[in-house]
Chains A and B, each alone.
Chain A
C-alpha cells in the first residue's frame, strides 16, 4: 500500500509551529517513516507547480499554520484545499487568527503608515510604500498584495480539523497526527484537544474559593502573584474560564495567567464575550463609581479578551471604511 501523502505549510506565522514539530525529534521521524511528505518548506525542496501537478485530493492531509494576510497565502490555502482530502488548521493563527489577527484593530493603511511613515526611525522623505510591482532599471520586481484584513484559515477555505495552541504542545500534535493516520477521526470541524475549559483542569482549583468575588482588578505587573492561588480570585485577569484545556498549563506553571491561545470550548461562539460574562459574574460591586474605577483599571479589554481570536470573533475587525 502506498504511504499517505502529507503536506505541511505555513502562512502568516512566526515559525513556532514548525519548531514545535521539530521538537518532537525522534517521534516525528517515526511519523516521517509512515508517510510521504510532498510539501514541507522548512525541510524539503518543492515548487508550487509540483503541488499543482498532483491530482485533486491526492494529498491525504495538509497541516497549515499561520493566518492569511497576503494574496500569496490565500493562493496557497486554496491550492492545498483542492489537492487535499483533509485540511487541518494547525496552531492559534490558522485556528483563530492568532496574535497577527490583532492587526484587525487597524487595516493595511494603518500598518503601512506606522511601518513606513510615522515611526521615529523611518527615513522616507518621498513617502514610499511597498508596491506589488516596482519597475527597476534592470526589470520589474513583484511583491504579494497585503490585505486589509487578517483571516483565520477557515475564513478562506473549508477546514476539517483544528490543532490549537501557540504553539501546539507535543502530545497534542502526536495524538492528532496518529488519529488522522489511523483514520480514527472525530466529527468534522472538531478541535483536537479536550473539550473542557482550562479552569476545569487547573491545578490551582484546589485553592480556589467556591464563589469568587472580586472588587478590583490588578494587572500582572501591579501585584505579587501567589504561585498557588487562582489568578481570578486575586483579581488578575486569567482567560481560563473561556479557554479550552489541553495546553498542559504551561503559562500557569510559570506563574503567569492564561491569555487564551487555545481558543474557546465547543459550546462557545465568541471567546471574548464568554470571558466578559464570566468576569461579570465574579465582580462583587454595587457602587457605580467603584464600577467605573474597576473598568478604568482595565484599559484594553478587547485586546486582552480577544488576544488570539479577534478575526474569528463576532467583532472580526474594525469597521471597514465604506469608500473601500
Chain B
C-alpha cells in the first residue's frame, strides 16, 4: 500500500511551498516532490510597461528581498540604455546593497537558521527560536541583533525611501544622495556592523564548531550533494554581491565557465514540470538529467555556500580570514555540505559589513553627481545581482520608446529549486524506513531546506518561531492516519 506524506509549510515562495513524500510497499521513500502552488505572472504583465517603472514593479515579487529585485531591475536599465552611472551613484547603490545583504543575513542566522545550532537541533521546538538564541547568548547580545538590524535597515530607508520596496534606482544612477549628517551616522552603524559580524562568527565557533555532534551533522552524508555552483565574482574572482561576471565551478571546484550577464541564455535553461508552478534551472552545457547530483547533471546551486565555492576569495580581509577557517575545517573548496550554507552566510555577513565601512570611507560617496541621463535608444538589457538567496537575473527587451516587449526573470530561490528538491528527498530517505515516520523527520527535513534560506521561508524568518510545518500521513484514500506538528506555542 502506498502511503503519502504531505508537508505543508504554508508559507512563501511566490506564495506557498508544499512537500509531498510517497512511500513504497515497504514503507521506504519512493519519491519526494517539492511543489510551489502559486504563480503571479510578473513576466507577462511586465510586457507593455514603461521600462523605468520596473525597479518599482518587480520588488513586489518579494517583500522580504525587494532590494534585490530593485537593484537587479535598475542594473538591467543601465544595460538597456547602455548608460554608466557616475562613481558616486555606484557607491551609493553598493552601500544600499551591502546594507541589505547584512540585515537579511543577520535575520536568517538569528531568527531562522541559527536556532537549530545555537540552541540545538534536539532542543524542544518551543526553544528553537530567536528567544532561545537570546537565552543562550544573553539578553544584551540578543538586543544587539534587533538594534543593529534596525540601524542598518535605516540606511536603506534613508536612501531608498522605504526599506520594504525601495524606489531610488534609475537607469544611470540614483534619485538622491547622502547628507553629511547621514555620513556620520552610517559610519558608526557600519563599524558596529563589523563588530557584530565578528561576534557572530565567534558565536558560531564557540557554540557550533566546538560541539562534535553539530560538526558531525554538518559534515554528514544526509545533507550533502555534489553539484555545480554559481555566483557573481569581480575581476579577481572574489565574491561580489552587486556586480561582475557569473562564475560556475564544477563539483570538483574547477572553473567550468565564466560568463557576462548578457550571455546568460547561452548557459542557463529552465526545465518545466506539470506538478509545480516553479521552473527548474540547469546548466545547458551539461543538460537536464533530473533531480540528481554529480558532474553529469546540470543541476547547480546558488546562495552563500555556492558563492564561496564559485569564487577564489572574499573581497574584504576579515571575511577572507573567516573563509579560510571555514574551508580548512570542511576539508577545502568546494564544500558540498548543505548545512555549511549557514557558515558561509556569516562569512558574507562580515564582507557586507566591511564593505559598508570601505564605501563610507570613500570620499566620492559624498559627490553631487549621482545620475547620468541616458541618451541611447533602448533595445535589450540584462542585470544580475547576488540576492541573499542566490543569483538573480532580470532580462528585458523593449521597443525604441523603452516599452517592455519581453521580460525574463530567474529568481534566486528558483535557481536553487532543483537542489532544494534533492535535499528534501535525501533527508526523507535517510529518515523514513519501513513506514516509520519519526518525529525527528520534521526538523531534519526542515533543516535540509532551511539551509538554503528559501524565499518561501522569507516571511517566517523575521518572527520568533519555527517555520510552521505539518506532516500528515495519509492512506491512498486520502484519510489522515497520523498528524504531527512541529509548533508548540509561542
Taken together as a complex, chains A and B put the C-alpha atoms of A300 and B402 apart, in Å, by 10
Does A256 belong to the interface (CB within 8 Å)?
yes
- The reply to whether B458 and A141 form a contact with Cβ atoms under 8 Å apart is no
- The reply to whether A19 and B164 form a contact with Cβ atoms under 8 Å apart is yes
- The reply to whether B175 and A254 form a contact with Cβ atoms under 8 Å apart is yes
Does A323 belong to the interface (CB within 8 Å)?
no
Does B314 belong to the interface (CB within 8 Å)?
no
- The reply to whether A254 and B40 form a contact with Cβ atoms under 8 Å apart is no
B298 to chain A, nearest CB (A): 10
- The reply to whether B459 and A18 form a contact with Cβ atoms under 8 Å apart is yes
- Of residues B41, B171, B470, which shows the largest number of chain A Cβ atoms within 10 Å of its Cβ? B41
Q: Kindly report which residue of chain B lies nearest to residue A225, judged by CB atoms.
A: B175
- The reply to whether B48 and A105 form a contact with Cβ atoms under 8 Å apart is yes
Residues of B within 8 A of A111 (CB): 39, 41, 43-45
Instruction: Give residues of chain A (101-134) contacting chain B, Cβ–Cβ below 8 Å.
Output: 102-103, 105-106, 110-111, 113-116, 118-124, 128-131, 134
- The reply to whether A16 and B170 form a contact with Cβ atoms under 8 Å apart is no
- The reply to whether A138 and B270 form a contact with Cβ atoms under 8 Å apart is no
Does A152 belong to the interface (CB within 8 Å)?
no
A: number of interface residues (CB 8 Å): 79
Taken together as a complex, chains A and B put the C-alpha atoms of A113 and B39 apart, in Å, by 13
- The reply to whether A19 and B462 form a contact with Cβ atoms under 8 Å apart is yes
Does B161 belong to the interface (CB within 8 Å)?
yes
B144 to chain A, nearest CB (A): 14
Residues of A within 8 A of B15 (CB): 12
Partner of B374, one of A13, A221, A251, A253: A221
- The reply to whether A122 and B275 form a contact with Cβ atoms under 8 Å apart is no
Does A155 belong to the interface (CB within 8 Å)?
no
Taken together as a complex, chains A and B put the C-alpha atoms of A129 and B37 apart, in Å, by 13
Taken together as a complex, chains A and B put the C-alpha atoms of A139 and B395 apart, in Å, by 37
Does B486 belong to the interface (CB within 8 Å)?
yes
B: number of interface residues (CB 8 Å): 94
Does A186 belong to the interface (CB within 8 Å)?
no
Partner of A13, one of B63, B163, B264, B265: B63
**Which among A38-46, A54-62, A205-213 touches the partner chain?**
A38-46
- The reply to whether B265 and A121 form a contact with Cβ atoms under 8 Å apart is yes
Instruction: Give residues of chain B (367-386) contacting chain A, Cβ–Cβ below 8 Å.
Output: 371, 373-374
- A119/B176 contact (C-beta < 8 A), A102-B49, A141-B33 known: no
- A167/B164 contact (C-beta < 8 A), A103-B40, A143-B276, A223-B373 known: yes
Q: Kindly report which residue of chain A lies nearest to residue B21, judged by CB atoms.
A: A138
Q: Kindly report which residue of chain B lies nearest to residue A110, judged by CB atoms.
A: B44
Does A83 belong to the interface (CB within 8 Å)?
no
Residues of B within 8 A of A69 (CB): 38, 40
- The reply to whether B31 and A138 form a contact with Cβ atoms under 8 Å apart is yes
- The reply to whether B35 and A100 form a contact with Cβ atoms under 8 Å apart is no
Residues of B within 8 A of A99 (CB): 57, 60
- The reply to whether B39 and A146 form a contact with Cβ atoms under 8 Å apart is yes
Does A194 belong to the interface (CB within 8 Å)?
no
- The reply to whether B48 and A17 form a contact with Cβ atoms under 8 Å apart is no
Does B162 belong to the interface (CB within 8 Å)?
yes
Taken together as a complex, chains A and B put the C-alpha atoms of A41 and B52 apart, in Å, by 35
Does A20 belong to the interface (CB within 8 Å)?
yes
- A219/B161 contact (C-beta < 8 A), A15-B458, A45-B485, A144-B38 known: no
- The reply to whether A122 and B146 form a contact with Cβ atoms under 8 Å apart is no
Does A2 belong to the interface (CB within 8 Å)?
no
- The reply to whether A141 and B20 form a contact with Cβ atoms under 8 Å apart is yes
- A143/B272 contact (C-beta < 8 A), A22-B462, A41-B468 known: no
Taken together as a complex, chains A and B put the C-alpha atoms of A114 and B42 apart, in Å, by 10
Does A319 belong to the interface (CB within 8 Å)?
no
- The reply to whether B175 and A43 form a contact with Cβ atoms under 8 Å apart is no
Taken together as a complex, chains A and B put the C-alpha atoms of A122 and B172 apart, in Å, by 30
Residues of A within 8 A of B334 (CB): none
Taken together as a complex, chains A and B put the C-alpha atoms of A131 and B276 apart, in Å, by 8
- A45/B470 contact (C-beta < 8 A), A19-B164, A136-B275, A143-B37 known: yes
Residues of B within 8 A of A105 (CB): 45, 48
- A45/B468 contact (C-beta < 8 A), A250-B161, A300-B49, A300-B50 known: yes
- The reply to whether A130 and B276 form a contact with Cβ atoms under 8 Å apart is yes
Does B231 belong to the interface (CB within 8 Å)?
no
Residues of B within 8 A of A136 (CB): 22, 31, 33, 275
Partner of A42, one of B30, B171, B373, B459: B459
B17 to chain A, nearest CB (A): 12
Instruction: Give residues of chain B (254-296) contacting chain A, Cβ–Cβ below 8 Å.
Output: 264-265, 268-277, 279, 281, 288
Q: Kindly report which residue of chain B lies nearest to residue A126, judged by CB atoms.
A: B272
Which residues of B pack against A, CB within 8 Å? 2, 4, 10-12, 15, 20, 22, 24, 30-31, 33, 35, 37-41, 43-45, 47-50, 52-53, 56-57, 59-64, 66, 77, 81, 146, 159-168, 170-172, 175-176, 264-265, 268-277, 279, 281, 288, 371, 373-374, 395, 401-403, 406, 408, 410, 458-460, 462-463, 465-466, 468-470, 476, 485-487, 490
Q: With A44-B490, A251-B162, A299-B401 given, name 5 new contacts (CB 8 A).
A: A15-B458, A139-B2, A221-B170, A250-B162, A300-B49
The 3 closest A-B pairs by CB, nearest first: A16-B63, A254-B161, A45-B487
Can you list 12 A-B pairs, Cβ within 8 angstroms, ordered by A? A12-B40, A14-B59, A14-B66, A16-B63, A23-B164, A41-B11, A42-B460, A100-B45, A115-B279, A219-B52, A254-B175, A299-B402
